[in-house]
Structure 1
Amino acid sequence: MSSSPKPSRRGLSWKPLVVAAAAVVAAAAGLWRLRHPHSELRLAIVNWPAYEYFYLAEDKGLARPFGLNLQVAQYSSLLDQRQAFERGDVQVIATTIPEALAICHERPARCPQLILVLDQSNGADRILARAPISTPQQLLGKRVGLERAVLAEYLLTRSLGDQPRRLNQQMRLHVDVPEGLVARLRSGELDAIVTYHPYDTLLSQDPAIREVFSSKHIPGEIVDVLAVDPTYSREHPKELTALVQTWWAARDYARRNPSQAAAVMAQRQQLDLEQFQASERGLTYPSLGDQPSLMAPDGPVSRTMRRVATLMRSSGGIAPGTPLPVLNPQFLEAP
């Protein structure tokens, strides 16, 4: 009588070992997650050199040591980003003071808290025009393109002085996305556009196009900030503290690894390394030590916010009773 073949020694010994090892790994991973929980935070950005540091942080996992799972959501325009915040799709955005004021006008209940100053535009926001236009006053009556964003309207208004103006009564305004504005200026369809880094890169070598105004003429007025839904700010202080720490970690990583960091950010913006580095030259980055004075109740950001709000009210951009964003510096340092 023939006997059944005996199972191999390999089959008898390794299967239970593999199962046991898998169980040990799963248990260890579960224990690690319990000891090192990661809260998820979705941050909305648009295409702007300073905001790329959040993408750098996501790419390099720089938020994880602070217990944060950072997810960066890219929007194609400031308007799309602002509307996403107003709908509640995102709770935190990197934006400008004029856009934050627009949120307070359109959705007062979500009027954001400003928790960190990211950068100051010192020439990175620009009005470019075709020759022979060389001054902002020569834009009157001309075909001027701008993004559907409060920031663009504010820069155009400020280029003409401190007086409120109804721009659509003084210029032939054309609204388009940033890439479209650049293409239409190059083709001659528009006389001038309001643009910013990195979209102006393609125009830098065109001798027929010149700068007629930029944010360097109004220092301290175009400031980028982290804006947070007030309810989220109250309910998620740890996540916001971790987000602020992540910003400083990204800035520190770039300081220690300048070429590698710039390469990551340039690639995402579809620029070469030199173009990205050039786009940052129009920005000033405040240090951690600068933040308390910038965010003080009567400090530079507060004064700028009141000035911008006054001009926006006078020009009809926001209603007279629109609340102002609240400056909240409590997340600047770890508890």
Structure 2
Amino acid sequence: MLNRIRGAGKIALMACALMAASCSPSSNAPQEPRTEFSIGWSIYAGWMPWPYAQQAGIVKKWADKYGLKINIVQVNDYVESVNQYTAGKLDGVTVANMDALTIPAAGGKDTSAIIVGDYSNGNDGIMLKGADKLAAIKGRQVYLAELSVSHYLLARGLGSIGMALTDVKTVNTSDADIVAAFAAPEVTAAVAWNPQLSVMRAAPGAKQVFSSADIPGEILDLLVVDTATLKTNPNLGKALAGIWYETTALMQRQDAEGKAARAAMAKLAGTKPELFDNQLSTTYLYADPKAAVAATSAPALITTMTRVRDFSYSKGLFGQGAKSADAVGMAFPGNKTLGDASHITLRFDASYMQMAADGKL
């Protein structure tokens, strides 16, 4: 699979319980400066720059500049990678915005999103049979991975036409089973992500009636780092930003070197170059740090995270102790906050992206 399993609802509840039963959040623990760090990643088009950078020597180049050793660690299961980060086994991890909120942040782990890497721009979609308008979904059974980004996309799609989740019945279906489920004649509605989505589009009578391209910038993919680790070791953030922007600049090139870099990423992902390029075409990559800073600093991000946290809370993803959607505090550039300002555990930190934009890394 080229795309990560995006959304981890029930696992999020487990993570909250584990964090509550374990030691206090990492931000409260004093740390000594370090020189070696581990960053976890899992296979997804927008995250393949990280293992490629390691293979190409870009990681070592930037780590050496700051006297560090940075290990880019593959974790085959996306949810497991986020759980390992939450448990302190990794210093940082690649993660979707919804999962950063509902797993480490909701569990009490103070987390900083230092690179907003991309957003889904058509990688996720709602499929119907026998209709070409989303309104026809009313009353249908909708197959999807419940409590995932697909569930969020369904809620946003329904809301865009004045409908609610109560107007349909969801049927929990794993990403591994969604293609086979949609192939059954009796299944007429489903929500999925690539590469499964691209297969489902070819089903007889199937039409995509809503996609993440209709809500640009809402399904975000991030690199997050433990806030206390970052505070004690700011050079880690500088090195990671340098790695990201050098690598994404290379992969955006249309010359032989850019093509070779993308082909190498495809190989690392276990797929063919043309399939990898197809996924990149529906992934809006923030290769320009100025654009990433602008997106992270824009009011639209707070609006997005308000929607994400309201959905997550409504589905119980903040744990039983959360009394409102404000239970998990978030911080944004410009000293703006959302939720409990006295309990910030998710921070969108644009400072390292800004250094890259200013040429100060």
Q: Give the residue type in structure 1 aligned to 2:347.
A: V
After superposition, where does 1:291-306 map in structure 2 within 5 Å?
291-296=292-297, 299-306=299-306
Match of 2:45 among 36, 49, 56: 49
Matched residues in 2 for 1:214 and 1:76: separation? 25
In structure 2, relative to structure 1, the CA distance for the partners of 1:40 and 1:128 (3 Å cut) is farther
Matched residues in 2 for 1:188 and 1:44: separation? 40
Q: Show CA shifts across 1:148-182 (max 9, x none).
A: 55322211211110679566x94142231x23322
- Determine the structure 2 residue equivalent to 1:31: none
- Determine the structure 2 residue equivalent to 1:160: 158
Contact 1:103 1:112 in 2 (8 A): no
Give the % identical residues: 22
- Determine the structure 2 residue equivalent to 1:122: 121
In structure 2, relative to structure 1, the CA distance for the partners of 1:105 and 1:70 (3 Å cut) is closer
After superposition, where does 1:83-98 map in structure 2 within 5 Å?
83-98=83-98
Matched, 1:217 2:201: no
Matched residues in 2 for 1:83 and 1:191: separation? 34
Matched, 1:227 2:224: yes
- Determine the structure 2 residue equivalent to 1:174: 172
Higher helix share: 1
In structure 2, relative to structure 1, the CA distance for the partners of 1:83 and 1:274 (3 Å cut) is same
Matched, 1:252 2:249: yes
- Determine the structure 2 residue equivalent to 1:71: 72
Deviation (angstroms), 1:299: 3.7
Deviation (angstroms), 1:123: 1.2
Matched residues in 1 for 2:110 and 2:134: separation? 32
- Determine the structure 2 residue equivalent to 1:330: 351
Deviation (angstroms), 1:82: 3.0
Matched residues in 2 for 1:91 and 1:191: separation? 43
Query: 1:220 is paired with a residue of what secondary structure?
Result: coil
In structure 2, relative to structure 1, the CA distance for the partners of 1:115 and 1:309 (3 Å cut) is same
Q: CA RMSD in A?
A: 2.9
Matched residues in 2 for 1:59 and 1:144: separation? 42
Deviation (angstroms), 1:126: 1.6
In structure 2, relative to structure 1, the CA distance for the partners of 1:158 and 1:92 (3 Å cut) is same
- Determine the structure 1 residue equivalent to 2:99: 99
Q: Give the residue type in structure 2 aligned to 1:92.
A: G
In structure 2, relative to structure 1, the CA distance for the partners of 1:192 and 1:180 (3 Å cut) is same
In structure 2, relative to structure 1, the CA distance for the partners of 1:261 and 1:58 (3 Å cut) is same
Calculate the TM-score normalised by the size of structure 2. Answer: 0.71
Is there any run of 5+ residues in structure 1 with no aligned partner, and where?
1-37
Contact 2:143 2:172 in 1 (8 A): yes
In structure 2, relative to structure 1, the CA distance for the partners of 1:251 and 1:164 (3 Å cut) is same
Query: 2:90 is paired with a residue of what secondary structure?
Result: coil
Deviation (angstroms), 1:317: 4.2
Matched residues in 2 for 1:142 and 1:47: separation? 33
Matched residues in 2 for 1:316 and 1:138: separation? 28
Matched residues in 2 for 1:301 and 1:135: separation? 28
Matched residues in 2 for 1:272 and 1:92: separation? 28
After superposition, where does 1:202-213 map in structure 2 within 5 Å?
202-213=199-210
- Determine the structure 2 residue equivalent to 1:279: 279
Matched, 1:61 2:61: no
Matched residues in 1 for 2:178 and 2:208: separation? 15
Q: Give the residue type in structure 1 aligned to 2:328.
A: T
Contact 1:47 1:198 in 2 (8 A): no
Contact 2:105 2:328 in 1 (8 A): yes
Matched residues in 2 for 1:72 and 1:57: separation? 12
Deviation (angstroms), 1:277: 1.0
Q: How many residues align?
A: 292
Matched residues in 1 for 2:81 and 2:144: separation? 16
In structure 2, relative to structure 1, the CA distance for the partners of 1:81 and 1:195 (3 Å cut) is farther
Q: Give the residue type in structure 2 aligned to 1:150.
A: S
Q: Show CA shifts across 1:105-142 (max 9, x none).
A: 6402x14211111012211122234x215444444554
Contact 2:194 2:279 in 1 (8 A): yes
Larger Rg: 1
Contact 1:104 1:111 in 2 (8 A): yes
In structure 2, relative to structure 1, the CA distance for the partners of 1:170 and 1:187 (3 Å cut) is closer
Calculate the TM-score normalised by the size of structure 1. Answer: 0.76
Deviation (angstroms), 1:188: 5.0
Query: 1:160 is paired with a residue of what secondary structure?
Result: helix
Q: Give the residue type in structure 2 aligned to 1:322.
A: V
Contact 1:123 1:214 in 2 (8 A): yes
Matched residues in 2 for 1:223 and 1:72: separation? 21
Deviation (angstroms), 1:228: 1.9
